[in-house]
Amino acid sequence: MPRPRILVVEDEEDILELVDYNLRQAGFRVLRARDGLEGLRSAQRDHPDLIVLDLMLPGMDGKDVCRRIRQGESTRHIPVVMLTARAEEMDRVVGFELGADDYVTKPFSPRELVLRIQAILRRVAEEEPPDAPLCFPGLTVDPIRYRVEVGGKEVALTATEFRLLYCLARNAGRVMSREVLLDRVWGYHYEGYARTVDTHIRRLRKKLGPARERIETLRGLGYRFRDEP
């Protein structure tokens, strides 16, 4: 197994050094970029295993970089961990759903960052091999192409939304608690997790349009994907 490559996009030299050092100590290889455009180019060219992306960057900021990564056919599957400077920005990252897989608020402990990266990479590695598309009337979820179609039209989902929908749809008819979803989709436990799941479900429903009815809320229990229309 080659050592995973992590792309770190950060303009603050001391943070870049700190992260670089700690990732290497943890056995990763590190690619560096000092602004958003350089980061995006590296993501497209080098296909790293994961990207650590600062939110505030000169030129193209972290939000735009994240969006572009999620839109790119060759980059949309790459996990992104955002570095954010303030608690408010952390909320915005979650709220606006940029497609980041996780976020760490500055000042952060390098050990915590390494643990989160390891958790994400473990989850990606453990994911079962891609399956055939899940087809329901009016809704197709294709885990090989990471593609969702509602009424024959592609719906753009973030990586997290896709995993959430796929997890629900694969377990169609079964009640999935927030804890189970958190574990399967995010891979570890957030504090205030219920809100995280609920926020993503809300955004997912909005994007699903007419297929939104398939995701049922079971008060006090969790969510269920309806296999019957």
Contacts to Ca ion by CB under 5 A: 11, 54, 56
Give the nearer residue to Ca ion in terms of CB position, either 20 or 54.
Answer: 54
Element (H, E) at 7: strand 5-9
Q: How far is the CB of 28 from Ca ion (least distance, A)?
A: 21
Residue nearest to Ca ion (CB): 56
Q: How far is the CB of 207 from Ca ion (least distance, A)?
A: 30
How many angstroms from the chain centroid is the CA of residue 49?
13
Angle at 93 between CA 177 and CA 192, to 5 degrees: 35
Give the nearer residue to Ca ion in terms of CB position, either 11 or 149.
Answer: 11
Peptide bond into 58 cis (omega under 30): no
Q: How far is the CB of 62 from Ca ion (least distance, A)?
A: 8
Residues facing 7 on adjacent strands: 31, 51
Q: How far is the CB of 172 from Ca ion (least distance, A)?
A: 43
Structure tokens at 107: 């000042």
Angle at 94 between CA 93 and CA 98, to 5 degrees: 60
Give the nearer residue to Ca ion in terms of CB position, either 69 or 83.
Answer: 83
Give the nearer residue to Ca ion in terms of CB position, either 9 or 31.
Answer: 9
